[in-house]
A and B are shown apart, each in its own frame.
Chain A
Amino acid sequence: MTEMTGVPAVRVSNMTKLYKNGRGVKNIDLTLEPGDIVGLLGPNGSGKTTIMKVIVGLCHATDGTAEVFGHSIERDYEAAAKHIGALIESPALYYNLSAEKNLRLAARVRGAGDEDIARVLALVRLDRYARDKVARFSLGMKQRLGLALALLGSPDLLVLDEPTNGLDIEGTVEVRELILRLAAERGHAFLIASHLASEIERTCNKVAIIHEGELLSFVSVAEAVRRAPTLEDYFLAEVRQKRGGAVI
């Protein structure tokens, strides 16, 4: 699948999503271009996952719009979803099925073939365990299978929520290298959520700071580390500024 030229991979305009308990995200504006690797950085419960869920259509926005390659996720879901591969929260897997069968189910709807299943299994180093039931998988293996599902069919936009969660050091480095390679070689856009500034700093070219449901800043990682010694310092400065405290 190739991205459409001149159209942003994601355009979120004035998006608000409020849950019944009053929490959620407010007035989010975000644009991702093809080839961008954007990190959503914020503490747990800040609204990173909610933004992702609205973009992939798992949640309905209370207000505002979300478009993927020019297609509204609300009005034109199927056209938008063809471009999306996602890993949101814990991987959504059928535990009574093997890794291969999980992928085959998704491949059937995505129109992907056997070669693609073999390719993504090899990418996440699960080819040896293809016929094993997911119920027997470790946390890291489930996470890798979730990544394989997201990569199936080579979608133009990958929305990954804490993609290295549960992975060992080697696995974390592999995932990071894979993301960088796919963005550089194929122009895939990535939206990655993490509460680890170091992870975002190493992987992403842009960062969106999310705090208590608000987008505090959206800048390039290079700009953020120019303004502060590290991305972590930049994040803390933005949060303190929001609270009306000291500014770096």
Chain B
Amino acid sequence: MQLFGRAYRCELIKLLARKKFIVFLALEVAICGIVLLVQLAVEHVSGLAFNVNLRMMLLGFFISAYIPLVSFMAVCDLFSSEIQDGSLRASLLLPASRFKVYLAKALSAYTVAVVYLFSLFVVTAVLELSFGSTLHGFFESFGSYLLDAIPLAVVILMAVFFNQILRSPTLAMLLCIGVLLAAYIVNIFLPQVGAMLFTSYGQWHNLFIGKALPFLPMMMKVGLLLGYGTVFFSAGYYIFERRDM
């Protein structure tokens, strides 16, 4: 366990050393600020008070597009980029088993995603407070963020799996984006098929908070998500373990 912890910290350090993750975090903060300013401007011009919950309004966009994109970058940096430039050997030559290295890489990419998600929560909450909002529904929105962090793990495991198939980080990134986009399109045009895809639960809080689903259908969706996660994780690990470097 101690060895895994060290390997995990190493992977996180490698990600944090890449400036783009700080830049994208700053961009996330900027988007939140711009959206709030636009909202205030519209309210000022129209004379109407929309009383919008910024935390929940922005969650949809960030959880479906922005954070998956940043996560794909993190996964590609830790897997296909390292395979391509040979630096993966540096991790594999250390006395940590391949399972620990694989898990450490996947978990650090997930950590980045979670940091982005909760930074969004903090930034939007602070912005709302700064502009005189009462932060209504604070705990409900915090619960929504917590719930939405779960399906994000499956999206990352999907990216990890694709990164085992393709050696080129550019191709792996394109494949991840393409599959996510295709799944969203299927969700719109073929909702019955889309319901079988893990991407239809990106905003997972919708199942639990507000108009919650009955127990059995909800458990089916939980099971489906678990199934996708298990398949992506296992298939990805199998390829990673058998790979000759």
Contacts and interface: CB of A to CB of B under 8 A. Distances in A.
Contacts of B97: 77-78
A82 B95 CA distance: 5
B164 to A, nearest CB: 15
Interface string A92-114: 11111100011001101111000
B93 A89 contact: no
B18 A78 contact: no
B86 interface: yes
Contacts of A26: none
Contacts of A96: 17-18
A206 to B, nearest CB: 24
Contacts of A19: 244
B14, B92, B94: residue with the most chain A Cβ atoms closer than 10 Å: B94
Contacts of A82: 95
A51 to B, nearest CB: 13
Contact of B92 (A58, A89, A93, A149): A58
A175 to B, nearest CB: 19
A56 B17 CA distance: 28
Q: What bracket does the count of chain A residues touching chain B fall in?
A: 20 to 34
Interface in A43-76: 53, 56-60
B96 interface: yes
Given A92-B87, A96-B18, A110 B95 contact: yes
Given A78-B97, A81-B93, A92 B244 contact: no
A57 B93 CA distance: 8
Nearest to B85: A95
A108 B9 contact: yes
B14 A109 contact: no
B17 A110 contact: no
A88 interface: yes
Contacts of B96: 78, 81, 109
A82 B97 CA distance: 11
Contacts of B7: 109
A60 B98 CA distance: 12
Nearest to B14: A94
A209 interface: no
Contact of B86 (A84, A89, A106, A111): A89
B93 A92 contact: yes
Interface string B71-89: 0000000000000011111
Interface of A: 19, 53, 56-60, 77-78, 81-82, 84, 86, 88-90, 92-97, 101-102, 105-106, 108-111, 149
Chain A to chain B: the 3 pairs with minimum beta-carbon distance, closest first? A92-B89, A81-B95, A92-B90
Given A93-B87, A105-B90, 16 more contacts: A60-B242, A78-B97, A84-B93, A88-B89, A89-B89, A92-B88, A95-B87, A96-B18, A97-B14, A97-B17, A106-B90, A106-B94, A108-B10, A109-B96, A110-B94, A149-B90
19 contacts: A58-B244, A59-B245, A60-B244, A84-B93, A84-B95, A88-B89, A92-B93, A93-B87, A94-B14, A95-B87, A96-B18, A105-B13, A106-B90, A106-B94, A108-B10, A109-B6, A109-B7, A109-B94, A109-B95
